[in-house]
Amino acid sequence: MSFEMWAEKYRPKHLDDMVDQKEIVERLKSFAKARNVPHCIFAGPPGTGKTTAAMCLARDLYDDSYREHLMELNASDERGIDVVRETIKTFARSRSIGEIPFKIMILDEADNMTTDAQQALRRTMEKYTESCRFIMCANYSGKIIEPIQSRCAPFRFSFLPKEEHDKYICKIAQKENVTLLPDGLEAIYEVCGGDMRRAMNTIQSAASMNKPVDSKLIYAVTGHANPMDVQKMLVTAVNGDFLDARKQLRDMLQKYGVPGSDIIRQIHSEIFRTKEIPEPLKIKLVGYVGETDFRLMEGSDDEVQLSALLAKMVQAGYELKH
């Protein structure tokens, strides 16, 4: 089964089915009950249910015929002014047939629309409010121009808490007859951090191996380094063994095939979790990690920069001891 089919199978169909986001769901349910919806901005990180919430609201408003009253556009693909003038305007100005007099336009990835397109959209939203309501889904609401933001009711989505995340993943594993071990469940949250779409993709990839899903399998299918390996490398460097720490780094890069940008994020996380590193040293190391991350983003060589970071860690550990 493809990921799209898997995701559709377990995607909530109505607002009552949604996991967490309780305040948002209550507000949307009140809109559905009143049969009236304002223009909305759904903002938050990826995989937190923004598009799903919009689809659930449409289902609760129009029942099974919701597809006739709904149009969904991915604004990251169709983001120019011509789309606003033609596709969006044509849909927005025609009235809906039925007891609810307006249709719904969902603009996914709306923060990727050009400024010109957003300026054109502002007037369209104002002119055709009676016949069409807009729901704009964005990872970064700050990239949407102020005039549009002031016309919309804001909804802030957040990553799922661990308890809700684990409960939902266990439910999927049970229905799909996947043997999910406790350390595998921990690893999924470690890798995905509450991004439910990514978590579903991860467990599906792991399940396709036809083995019990443990942490080792999760790290293998996601190309994510084991946190214990990263911690061990940090402690080795801080204790002054540069060559051994560098060997562990190279083993990780080859074993997991992890890009430097991902390793640096894991190093950043593990610095705070590693009890063997004293507090004053953590402050220094975080500064070094920030510098290295900037250089990697500028296009520097992964192995060279990460080796230089380990060298600085060795030096910082030596200075603290003496």
Does 258 have pLDDT greater than 80? no
Give the domain-ending residue among 190, 222, 254.
222
| Total number of residues shown for the chain | 322
Give the domain-ending residue among 193, 222, 251.
222
The whole-model pTM stands at 0.79
Please give the pLDDT value at position 4: 63
Average pLDDT over residues 57-68: 85
Q: Within this chain, do residues 242 and 107 fall inside the same structural domain, yes or no? A: no
Q: Which CATH number characterizes residue 147's domain?
A: 3.40.50.300
Q: Which CATH number characterizes residue 313's domain?
A: 1.20.272.10
CA distance 94 to 14: 26
Q: Within this chain, do residues 146 and 188 fall inside the same structural domain, yes or no? A: no
Give percent above pLDDT 70 in the chain: 95
Name the pLDDT band for 175 (thresholds 50, 70, 90): confident
Least confident window among 3-7, 109-113, 147-151, 259-263:
3-7
Domain assignment of residue 216, given as a range: 162-222
Q: Within this chain, do residues 149 and 12 fall inside the same structural domain, yes or no? A: yes
Q: End-to-end CA distance of the chain, in Å?
A: 59
Does 110 have pLDDT greater than 80? yes
Q: Within this chain, do residues 116 and 171 fall inside the same structural domain, yes or no? A: no
Q: Within this chain, do residues 200 and 236 fall inside the same structural domain, yes or no? A: no
Letter string b/e over residues 28-40, b meaning 16 or more CB atoms within 10 A of that residue's CB:
bbebbeeeebebb
Q: Within this chain, do residues 180 and 113 fall inside the same structural domain, yes or no? A: no
Q: How many domains does the structure of the chain reveal? A: 3
Q: Say if CB 147 and CB 115 are below 8 A apart.
A: no
Name the pLDDT band for 10 (thresholds 50, 70, 90): confident
Q: Within this chain, do residues 111 and 175 fall inside the same structural domain, yes or no? A: no
Q: Give the C-alpha distances (Å, rounded to integers) separating 300 from 37, 176, 251, 256, 305.
A: 49, 43, 20, 20, 7
Does 311 have pLDDT greater than 60? yes
Please give the pLDDT value at position 130: 86
